[in-house]
Amino acid sequence: MLGIACPDDYASEFPARTTLNPLAPLADTGIRVGTPPNLFRPPPNPHPDPAQGVDTKRVPPACPQARRTGAVGVGALVRRVVNLQSIEQKLLLLALLFVIGGSIVANLFAWDVKWQIPLIYAVLYVLLSVVVDIRNRQTPTASTHYRTSDEFFLSFTRFVRTAERHIYTSYVRNTPPPSFRSPAAEEYFRAAAEWTRRNPGASFHRIIGVPDQEPGKSAMRLWLREHCEEMRGIANYHARVVTTDSGVDAVNMAIIDDTAVLLLLTADGSFMSGHSLETAEAVNSFRDYYRSWWASAEPLERYAQRTGLMDPDP
């Protein structure tokens, strides 16, 4: 119900490529053989296949003519795009000059209003083009720093509510979630449970850390027992447990679809700082790390049976 199978190991090893020298037998006999330069160089492989064990670093580069042809093709495409943008900018400049001149002429000769309407539309078009160009030049913020617990969990809740397919989270701390004592943190845990119930086709993964000794073990196991009851019967909720023997909280993370990675830093049960990274490279890197962490964790159901987590109190 709560556990899923470990993900496949995506690591693979590619054997190094070896090149056979057809003159090696003659070289062994001591006979000197003159070989024109580059005569036995293997032909370049423009489409190396890693699955066939080809070491792409040893594949000879393509011939200069092919490189020049490719460079010319790309360069021509780039120049064409730049030229189109330049033409559009020049047309906008001419349109702006035309509009300014037309407005002056319209005021001098007292043109009828109906003749000024095209000038008004032209002004609106020029302004809209300038605004769109400014917006396209702006780059979105790739990272955000959260100074307080409320800032972090409010942003976390927004990411969760807009998620579409997958949410991967970890909670590996020495104190249970109620230790935050933050309405924003409580709202996040409620939103996460509601999102999981509302999206049966999606999946929510959580790695939970349980200290293997006091202080912290009893409190975490008590919260984990309540959490099992809360999430019972939700097929798309998957949880695993790792036991910890360190007095330092782990760097906890959350991965939202292919959109963002959130990092939470805490110490002694207190919030330190939070960060969000909204780049594809960050998402891919932390997802790979999360998969290895997940593979080493124990499914929650198995942990509960092994440790008697759900047994009635004596």
Give the per-residue pLDDT at 259. 93
Give the per-residue pLDDT at 16. 39
Say how far apart CA 133 and CA 137 lie, in whole Å.
6
Beta bridge partners, 254, equal 169, 262
Cα radius of gyration (the chain) = 32
Give the per-residue pLDDT at 255. 97
Q: Which helix (H) or strand (E) holds 140?
A: none
Say how far apart CA 238 and CA 225 lie, in whole Å.
15
Tokens of 165: 């397919």
Q: Which residues of 101-124 are buried (b: 16+ CB within 10 A; e: fewer)?
A: ebbeeeeeeeeeeeeeeebeebbe
Say how far apart CA 222 and CA 210 lie, in whole Å.
10
Say how far apart CA 167 and CA 192 lie, in whole Å.
9
Crossing angle of helices 217-231 and 300-307, in 10° steps, is 120
In whole angstroms, how far apart are CA 22 and each of 25, 79, 253? 7, 46, 55
Q: Which helix (H) or strand (E) holds 26?
A: helix 24-28
pTM of the predicted structure, to 2 decimals: 0.57
Give the per-residue pLDDT at 80. 52
Distance of CA 134 to the CA centre of its chain: 26
Asked if residue 15 has a cis previous peptide bond (ω within 30° of 0), the answer is: no
Give the per-residue pLDDT at 261. 96
Give the per-residue pLDDT at 163. 95
Give the per-residue pLDDT at 285. 94
pLDDT in tens, the chain (314 residues): 444 444 443 333 333 334 444 444 444 444 444 444 444 444 444 444 434 444 444 444 444 444 444 444 544 544 554 455 567 667 666 766 776 777 777 667 766 666 667 667 776 776 777 777 676 666 556 889 999 889 999 999 999 999 999 999 999 998 898 888 889 999 999 999 999 999 999 999 999 999 988 888 999 999 999 999 999 999 999 999 999 887 788 999 999 999 999 999 988 767 889 999 999 999 999 999 999 999 999 999 999 999 998 887 64
Give the per-residue pLDDT at 10. 37
